[in-house]
Amino acid sequence: MAPEPLLRVHNLTKRFGQLVAVNNVSLEIAPGEIVGLIGPNGAGKTTLFNSIAGLYPPDAGRVTFRGCDTTGMLAHKMCKLGMSRTFQVVKAFDDLTVEEAVRVGAYNRHSEKEVAAKVEEVIAFCELTEIRHHRCGDLGLAPLRRVELARAVATEPVLLLLDEAGAGLTATELSGLMAIIRRLNQERGVTLCVVEHVMQLVMGICQRIIVLDAGEIIAEGSPAEISKNPNVIEAYLGKRAVL
């Protein structure tokens, strides 16, 4: 008997005026998975992502998370329920230190007494110990991404949505990030859904990949299957690349 899916998207459609950004998309994420969501620019990944995360309510369809209907639910309620997200354009707490930023997230599930311990734990886990007292506004992109991730990790999510967490990172920074994500999944059982353009990250850590193009799912499968799928190649590189 397969375990109950953690997240279910039923026939989700989102329009912006005349443009149908996401067209009747359905998908499932099982607990413990790392699922990748990829597709060429304008495929609708971010729109789908934001519709699931509650940034804008979909025009049609439903989102079910842990058995509850979370369609269009407010962000903070979803966080309490166990779904956290990061942002594509980092929304940093400029004037706070790294430690303070993580603490904000830690308060999600911890009381005053426990919160300090949680903060220590997350800082160690996400390798932020050297920069813990630095002001977020002074950090470079890679450490900032890690802080963004750490904040979300501190909320103890059951499902973590990462929005282009790998963009703009060097190869070393990328493998560091991937290691943290892997540990999150294996050591803590956090389910992840990763929207990405950086193929190294997607192929490296995702167990299952869903490919979007023009608002619809065109392929789904393991990294090996996806990289050989002609529809996928065509979507990214055009018809002639397949031939």
Partner 1 sequence: MERRLRTFRLLPLLAGLAFALIIPLLLGRNQYAMVLATTVLVYSVLATAWNIIGGMAGQLDLAAFAYLGLGAFTSGTLLLRWNVTPWIGMFAGGLVAAAFAALIGYPLFRFGIKEVWYALSSSALVEVLRIAFLMWSNIGGPVERYIPFHAFSLYHMRFASYIPYYYIVLALLIAALAASYRISRSRLGYYLLALGQNEDAAEALGVNAQRCKLQALMIYAFLAGMTGAVYACIYGYIHPSFFSAAQSTEIAILGIVGGMGLVYGPLTAAILLVSLKEFMRANLGSTLESLYLAVYAVILILIALFRPQGIAPWIRNTFARGLARLQGGKDGARAASARP
SS (HEC) of 229-240: CHHHHHHHHCHH
DSSP bridge partners of 83: 159
Contact between 146 and partner 1 (CB under 8 A)?
Answer: no
Q: Please identify, among the stretches 1-9, 35-43, 149-157, 209-217, the one whose residues bind partner 1 according to the rule CB under 8 A.
A: 149-157
Q: Minimum distance between the CB of residue 192 and partner 1, rounded to whole angstroms?
A: 16
Dihedral sign computed on CA atoms, order 141, 183, 200, 85: negative
In angstroms, the CA 7 to CA 215 distance is: 19
112 binds partner 1 (CB under 8 A): yes
Contact positions with partner 1 (CB under 8 A) in 114-143: 115, 133, 135, 138
Stretch touching partner 1 by CB under 8 A, among 26-34, 40-48, 101-109, 233-241 = 101-109
Does residue number 151 form part of the binding site for partner 1 (CB under 8 A)? yes
> Which one, 108 or 229, has the nearer CB to partner 1?
108
Longest dimension (CA), the chain: 63
CA distances from 210 to 38, 45, 144, 216, 242 (A): 6, 10, 27, 10, 19
- 43 or 78, CB closer to partner 1? 78
Report strand pairing: 83-85 vs 34-38.
unpaired
* Cβ count near 36 (within 10 Å): 25
Q: Which SS3 state, helix, strand or coil, does residue 27 take?
A: strand
**Quick check: 8 binds partner 1 (CB under 8 A)?**
no
> Which residues face 219 on adjacent strands?
211
Token match 């065509």: residue? 234
Rounded least distance, CB 200 to partner 1, Å: 26
- Tell me: does residue 105 bind partner 1 (CB under 8 A): yes
Backbone angles phi, psi at 196, to 5 degrees: -150, 155
Mark the segment that binds partner 1 (CB under 8 A) among 13-21, 38-46, 99-107, 184-192.
99-107
- Binding flag, residue 46, partner 1 (CB under 8 A): no
Cα(68)–Cα(52) distance, integer angstroms: 13
Q: Give the x-and-dash track for 54-83 against partner 1 (CB under 8 A).
A: --------------------xxx--xx---
> Applying CB under 8 A, what is the total number of residues that bind partner 1?
33
CB of 3 to partner 1, least distance (A): 26
- Minimum distance from residue 242 beta carbon to partner 1 (Å): 39
